[in-house]
Amino acid sequence: MIDLRLLRDDPDAVRASQRARGESESSVDELLAADAQHRGALVRFESLRAEQKQLGKQVARAKGDEKQELLARTKQLAADVKAADLTVTETAEALRAAHLAVPNLVEDGVPPGGEDDFVVLKEVGLRPELDTVRDHLELGELLGAIDMERGAKVSGARFYFLTGVGALLQMGLFQLAMAQAVEYGLTPMVTPSLVKPESMEGTGFLGSHASEVYRLEADDLYLVGTSEVALASYHSGEILDLAEPRRYAGQSSCYRREAGSYGKDTRGIIRVHQFDKIEMFSFCRPEQSVEEHRRLLAWQEEMLAKVEVPYRVIDTAAGDLGSSAARKFDIEGWVPSQQRYRELTSTSNCTTFQARRLAVRYRDEDGKPQVAATLNGTLATTRWLVAILENHQQPDGSVRVPKALQQYLGRDVLEPVAR
């Protein structure tokens, strides 16, 4: 949710942001109108209610005829108050709907345009020179690391088993990521995968992404698509001490319906219904959020360096930002079998947009509660196995283990196994 005060003071800034996203400006005007209506209704209700309370005190003191006379008056007033209250409730609902319809303000410097208008900020690492390229699934099967067939048998399309060194590789990768998170002072977390509707809505995933989300009808719970949901909601309704940013690194399984992606990335584990992820999450003061965003990005790059995968960093265009994000950087790793970069991490600065809905606040210098800023960023996911396997493959189908992962795997090369 955007800041309504900012909207009242400077509606053109919000309109400009909408233009950058390629979205309609009319939602801004609808929100302004809903806000004005709601405030008008509030003023009417409050003055009626004040009168009612005044008379109520007189009633308590009055006796006999005087009391009967007062009761006659207050009875009508009570009906008026009730009606005014109903109007307030209605305008508040309309305001909320209009409020939810307006996405976050885009940060200055974000490239305009849509999905293809991202800006490449940098490219790092040398792409491997391979005579024969096996894709990650072929390698995974050779190594006894990935079993898609039985994944499909047990759970259906886009499910898989990580087996043997595949399982070890993921766990090693995650240990490496957690070790780095701890080194930089983030608090490690293992978070719930099932959350209540308000947590899902508070983080903004029930908007345009609602069709991506698994819902458990019988229990009115949602399966998270990322631990961002649980981590953002972790401090909902709280007032935090944010002299320093509060940072977490959460591990959870992530579930995505992948509706509308039929035929896309059907091979291997690039696009699956369930995967695991380590996610960084930060609560900080809004004025620190831009700097914090760069910090998360730097930590992500450090992880990419540790797994020795070539990558590029892109600055996502305004039209491709999620509704909560003011800016988003993706790191894409090189995938030799596709001869292109694929997304391995994403980090978003949600400024106060998410925290406002979730009521996460801190106290400023004057002791006044203020809305915090939230940021999130991937530190490792199952998809990284794709880039690791493919970039470090050798002609015989074996895969070199990046130095930083060797201690977790207990070996420096993964060898093909007989099936």
Partner RNA sequence: GGAGGCUUCGCCUAGUCUGGUCUAUGGCGCCCGCCUGCUAAGCGGGUUUCGGGUUUAUCCCCGAUCCCGGGUUCAAAUCCCGGAGCCUCCGCCA
- Per CB under 7 A, contacts with RNA among 237-256 are 239
205, two tokens: 């995933």
**Active-site residue set:** 256, 271, 343, 346, 383
Residue 8 labelled as part of a binding site: no
CB of 371 within 8 A of CB of 355?
A: yes
Q: CA 43 → CA 31, 92, 232, distances in Å?
A: 18, 13, 34
CB nearer to RNA: give 229 or 304: 229
Rounded CA gap, 276 and 255, in Å? 9
Rounded CA gap, 268 and 149, in Å? 10
Residue 308 labelled as part of a binding site: no
CA trace torsion 106, 107, 113, 119 (10° rounding): -150
CB nearer to RNA: give 42 or 130: 42
- Contact status: 77 vs RNA (CB under 7 A): yes
- Contact status: 45 vs RNA (CB under 7 A): yes
- Contact status: 43 vs RNA (CB under 7 A): yes
CB nearer to RNA: give 46 or 291: 46
Min dist CB 217 to RNA, Å, is 15
- Contact status: 60 vs RNA (CB under 7 A): yes
**Of the residues 56, 112, 114, 197, which one makes contact with RNA according to CB under 7 A:** 56
Residue 226 labelled as part of a binding site: yes
- Per CB under 7 A, contacts with RNA among 340-379 are 361, 368-369
Maximum Cα–Cα distance across the chain: 103
- Contact status: 78 vs RNA (CB under 7 A): yes
- Contact status: 42 vs RNA (CB under 7 A): yes
Residue 343 labelled as part of a binding site: yes
Beta bridge partners of 57: none
**Of the residues 53, 122, 150, 411, which one makes contact with RNA according to CB under 7 A:** 53
Min dist CB 252 to RNA, Å, is 18
- Contact status: 407 vs RNA (CB under 7 A): no
Residues contacting 85, CB < 8 A, separation 6+: 45, 49
Min dist CB 395 to RNA, Å, is 45
List residues binding RNA (CB under 7 A): 4-5, 39, 42-43, 45-47, 49-50, 52-56, 59-61, 71, 74-75, 77-78, 81, 89, 239, 361, 368-369
What are the binding residues for ATP? 256-258, 272-275, 343-346
What are the binding residues? 226-228, 256-258, 272-275, 279, 343-346, 376, 378
